[in-house]
């Protein structure tokens, strides 16, 4: 019979992991909160406004550059600002789309797989814990133990003897009131 302490801890750990996997799965299936979508939209609109401003500045600086009315550095700065704000706008726009559309199918499947795997770990831990105890096939008293605690045994190995005491003859049953007898067990 194996000490169950290790398996109790494994079961508790598996149950905690299952709770985490379930929460992650629920989070992915529900998608972004409305507050998060609104914040992503605001960031996208701000990035778009910055890009539009930088694009207009670049167009003006481009015209001025053709007539040599600005320095090369001023033109390069306007070009760089346009490029940077365009990248920021594209990034914010993609983040907004993602918050609206939610997780990809693959991410949902991955979360479901993690949940199922953790559920299997819980089942395995429960089985290991059940395997640590021995249940008698019938009522009776243990009259002999053939193994030590912690000893591994194969299925079918006799580990002790269970005796049904109701089947043991009781010589005292033959005595009647007032009779004297000698009973030995």
Split the chain (185 residues) into runs of 10 and give each run's mean pLDDT: 80 95 92 92 98 97 96 96 97 94 90 96 93 79 83 83 72 65 58
pLDDT at 185: 55
Residue 179 lies in a domain: no
Whether residue 87 lies inside any domain: the answer is yes
On whether residue 143 sits in a domain, the answer given is no
Does residue 162 fall inside a structural domain? no
DSSP states along 120-182: HHHHHHHHHHHTT----SSS-EEEEE-S-TT----TT---EEEE-GGGS--GGGG--TT----
Domain-located, residue 115: yes
Burial class (CB in 10 A: 0-12, 13-18, 19+), 11: buried
Per-residue pLDDT, 182? 62
C-alpha 165/C-alpha 135 separation (Å) is: 18
Count of domains for the chain: 1
pLDDT of residue 125: 94
pLDDT the model gives residue 172: 58
The parent domain of residue 105 ranges over 5-130
> What pLDDT score does 181 carry?
60
Question: What per-residue confidence (pLDDT) applies to 155?
Answer: 79
The pLDDT score that the predictor gives to residue 1 is 47
Q: Is residue 155 part of a domain?
A: no
92 in a structural domain: yes
Write b or e for each residue in 18-31: b if 16 or more Cβ atoms lie within 10 A of its Cβ, otherwise e.
beebeebbeebeee
Confirm whether 123 is domain-assigned.
yes
């Amino acid at each position: 019979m194996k000490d169950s302490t290790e398996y109790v801890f494994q079961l508790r750990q598996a149950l905690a992991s299952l709770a985490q996997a379930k929460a992650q799965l629920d989070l992915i299936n529900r998608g972004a909160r409305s507050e998060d979508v609104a914040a992503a939209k605001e960031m996208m609109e701000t990035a778009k406004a910055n890009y539009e401003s930088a694009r207009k500045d670049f167009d003006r600086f481009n015209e001025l550059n053709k007539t040599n009315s600005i320095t090369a550095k001023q033109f390069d700065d306007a070009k760089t600002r346009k490029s940077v704000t365009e990248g920021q706008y594209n990034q914010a726009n993609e983040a907004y789309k993602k918050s609206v559309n939610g997780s990809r199918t693959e991410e949902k499947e991955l979360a479901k797989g993690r949940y199922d795997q953790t559920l299997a770990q819980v089942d395995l831990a429960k089985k290991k814990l059940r395997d640590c105890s021995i249940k008698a096939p019938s009522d009776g008293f243990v009259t002999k133990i053939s193994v030590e605690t912690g000893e591994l045994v194969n299925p079918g190995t006799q580990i002790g003897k269970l005796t049904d005491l109701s089947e043991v003859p009781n010589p005292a049953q033959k005595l009647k009131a007032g009779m004297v007898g000698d009973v030995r067990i």
